[in-house]
Amino acid sequence: MKAATTGSRVETTPNISSTPIEEMSEANLTIINLNAQILGFTFGILFAFGMFVVTIVLVLKGGADVGSHLKLLGHFLYGYKVTLAGSVLGGAYGAIVGYASGFAIAVIYNWVAYLRSR
């Protein structure tokens, strides 16, 4: 407790850092579970937007060898090329891969949180 004098009265404020962990309420110690659907949807949007924008930027930039590194994704993503049509297909692939990634992250996080809380 810290004491502060204001005129003739003394005010005390609790020192939060000195509160022992045993005295903390259980609500402060609970772990928040992630919603796998929402995280998957969010990652899907981000990945789709990222693939679309990166491909469009490289197409607009032009040059002799447009997106030589990004072309390599065509080995994994069937039909993907660094073109305007490829940007739409890349966005679709990004949405699928992003959703799966976000969903998996949430499921694994919730599983680990459950195991730690037992």
CB atoms within 10 A of CB 18: 7
The pTM of the whole model exceeds 0.75: no
pLDDT, position 101: 98
Question: What would the pLDDT profile of 52-61 be if each residue is shown by its tens digit?
Answer: 999 999 999 8
CB atoms within 10 A of CB 107: 14
pLDDT, position 9: 66
Q: pLDDT grade, residue 29 (50/70/90)?
A: low
Question: Are 1 and 87 in contact, with CB atoms under 8 Å apart?
Answer: no
| CA separation for the pair 115, 113 (Å, rounded) | 5
Over residues 61-86, mean pLDDT? 88
